Amino acid sequence: MKPIALLTAWIALVSFAHAAAPEPSYPRPLRDLTTSYFPFRGEGLAIPEGYAQRKQEVRDRILLAAGLLPMPARTPLNAVIHGRVERDDYTIDRVFFESFPGHYVCGNLYLPKTPPAGGRMPGILCPHGHWANGRFTDNQAGSAVTNEQLAIGAERFESGARAPLQARCVQLARMGCAVFIYDMLGNADSVQITEHRSGRRPDLCGTELGTFGLYSPMADLRLESNFGLQTWNGLRAFDFLLTVPGVDPTRMACTGESGGGTQTLMLAALEDRLAAAFPCVMTSTAMQGGCTCENSSYLRINQGNIDIAAAFAPKPMGMTAANDWTKELATKGFPDLKMVWTKLGKPDNVMATFNTHWLHNYNHVSRTTMYGFMNKHFKLGFKEPVLEREFLVSTTPEMTVWTPEHPKPDGDKVGGAHEKMLTKEWSEDSDKQVAAHPELISKAWEIMIGRAMPGGDDVSFDITTKEDRGDYVLVKGIVHQARDNEDVPCTFIGPKPDKWNGTAVLWLSSKGTDSLGGEAGPPSAAAKKLLDAGIAIACPTLYLPGATEQPMNPVKSKDASRNDWQWAACYTYGYNPSLLAHRVHDAMTVAAMMLHHPKHHLEKLILAGSDGAGAIAAAAAVVMKNQGLNSAVIDTEGFRFASLTDQWHPMFVPGAVKYGDVPGLLTACAPLKWLALGEKEQGGADKVADSVLKLAQ
């Protein structure tokens, strides 16, 4: 029996209609790095039953944000170890290896002179934070910085006050560990990337492989960033450390501070072989990490550093807080982490110290906490507290990996030429990997859209206008989505109740209702074809109609040309959905309202995209294909994300090219039944309507 007409249902809504319609919430607020709050998002999960899925979600988002979904091929490291420096009870080796072919990761390997009992050493990876000169940091004897650290009790010995990065490596080696400290991009021996955060450079903004560098539009379209490169360097550094003779693969750890704390959090979430982690002064519900090496598109949507830390549970994790953005950790964030570890049966595996009387640091007191942590969990057998003693500070000539026998890279192996080579290698590998695993396209787009379909209880509809227009009915109103507190203005037109056939079209268009003839005039030819066939049409006004740019979040920058690193796209897209994703969210909201009416059931829901909304419809089809959508008609009009040369174009979507561009989106619609126009033949609203009629049969 034919159901009661949908348009009548929309007009006479009971639970879906309210007496008065609120104003739409335009614009939606932007989240940002410095002022937004990042609470733990897993509190309502069933732990341990539901926590494995949440951990996987966090990991997948990090991998996607880093451009590592799927992982690049692990090419030969070709590690070079040379120039050993002998100390009293430890040694220092100079190391460089290739994380990508031709791209070098540099560092120092600290080893104990006397092998520990049993002959097996824990392996400790040490990413460092944003200290001047990185691995080569030396505050110098008698300097104001050195003297202050000693005076305030932050450091016990002059050597530690001079070189705190060396201090932890020396002490861990003295405790019988193999320790590898490696350079952040553009620091110390990392000379191929000439600046740690260089920003967009017009001469590195090509669109073809081998013509673009980091920070460019194409790099963002492929999710290739210095955050991703640094994360990959860390994973390959872990691979290297496992090759060191005597290293115990069951006792591997990572500890870093500030930006190195961020890297520790990321590596802990990604690297299954890590047994323990100690991120310092970075686990926080406040500022998440200010550098581009700590930010990437999608990284902190639906998660923050507390969630990322929790992805390591229930393995041992320690952390420290200081008088910085981590100062509230004791009451905001750490109780959640303690709850997770407790519910997973390992409450003693997570700990923190809250030295909030000191500024941002990894000083002797914090390091002593870390030594005790490693001593306990790796059963090193030292009496606690494990305290440092003086050591001989190594000079830059003693630590540098570049020597006359091993000259540092130059020419086309550094700077812009190197970045072009690097992104080409990364892109070619990624294209091969995605082609071999096409199922990842759908998964990636689901993460990039970043939202599940609302449920029936989440949506309601407020009518503002309803008109009987003779041959058809028009209803205007606002669909409210309570879960995310978003409103979507929407116009519905349909045949009279006795003419409706149970099919409705969710019509997406950059022209809004004008694509159907406008609200005041008669239906367009396309709309009339559908109405005459007994099909109802829902046409939402997609978020920020007519926008010529994405909403954006520069970080302190006044650079009018938008080339400064503080204009990097990661500070917007790392915390906020793209405009296309917002518009897909709108489509999902309206679809949920149409699908979940408590009394009236759609026989068919068809999605249609035209007039500049084809790619939006394609993305919506991918995320809704198993959510009650029957079929889709997509007019691509020949659009390609790869043609975009500005990160702030309203259709810009980071990662869109990496995951197949429009053709990839179309194939990811399967097994949903879909038709694409505008690829080989001219599309347009009339052709879209004709295709809808074919699918409705």
**Helix 439-449, helix 51-65: angle, nearest 10:** 90
Q: Quick one: 430 and 474 in the same domain?
A: no
Per-residue confidence band for 4, with pLDDT thresholds at 50, 70 and 90: very low
Cβ atoms of 353 and 317 closer than 8 Å: no
Domain boundary among 412, 437, 462: 437
For the chain, the domain total comes to: 2
Mean pLDDT (whole number) for 531-557:
95
Which of 221-230, 495-504, 511-520, 608-617 bottoms out in mean pLDDT, i.e. has the lowest? 511-520
CA-to-CA distance for 368 and 434, rounded, in angstroms? 45
CA-to-CA distance for 667 and 632, rounded, in angstroms? 12
| CA 466 to each of CA 10, 246, 540, 598: distance values in angstroms, whole numbers, following the listed order | 10, 77, 16, 21
Answer whether residue 43 is part of any domain.
no
CB atoms within 10 A of CB 456: 14
Q: Quick one: 385 and 452 in the same domain?
A: no
Judged against a pLDDT cut of 50, whether residue 396 lies above it is answered with: yes
CATH number at residue 95: 3.40.50.1820
Domain boundary among 404, 437, 470: 437
C-alpha 433: how far from chain center: 19
Looking at residue 82, its pLDDT comes to 98
Looking at residue 5, its pLDDT comes to 39
Domain boundary among 381, 407, 437: 437
pLDDT 10s digits, 272-288: 999 999 999 999 999 99
Q: Quick one: 287 and 416 in the same domain?
A: yes
Q: Quick one: 494 and 404 in the same domain?
A: no
Nearest to 222 by CA among 68, 119, 54, 77: 68
CA-to-CA distance for 94 and 161, rounded, in angstroms? 23
Looking at residue 42, its pLDDT comes to 83
Q: Quick one: 622 and 575 in the same domain?
A: yes
Nearest to 333 by CA among 357, 358, 350: 350
Q: Quick one: 174 and 209 in the same domain?
A: yes
Q: Quick one: 548 and 428 in the same domain?
A: no
| CA torsion through residues 127, 130, 135, 140, sign | negative
Which domain does 576 fall in, by range? 6-30+444-696
Provide the greatest CA pair distance for the chain.
96
Which of 10-14, 351-355, 447-451, 688-692 bottoms out in mean pLDDT, i.e. has the lowest? 10-14
**pTM of the full predicted structure?**
0.95
pLDDT 10s digits, 566-601: 999 999 999 999 999 999 999 999 999 999 877 667
Cα torsion through 156, 162, 166, 172, rounded to 10: 0
Mean pLDDT (whole number) for 232-236:
98
- Identity of residue 639: F
Nearest to 222 by CA among 654, 600, 563, 568: 654
CA-to-CA distance for 269 and 56, rounded, in angstroms? 9
Q: What are the residue ranges of helices labelled H in 348-438? A: 364-377, 396-399, 415-436
Answer whether residue 101 is part of any domain.
yes
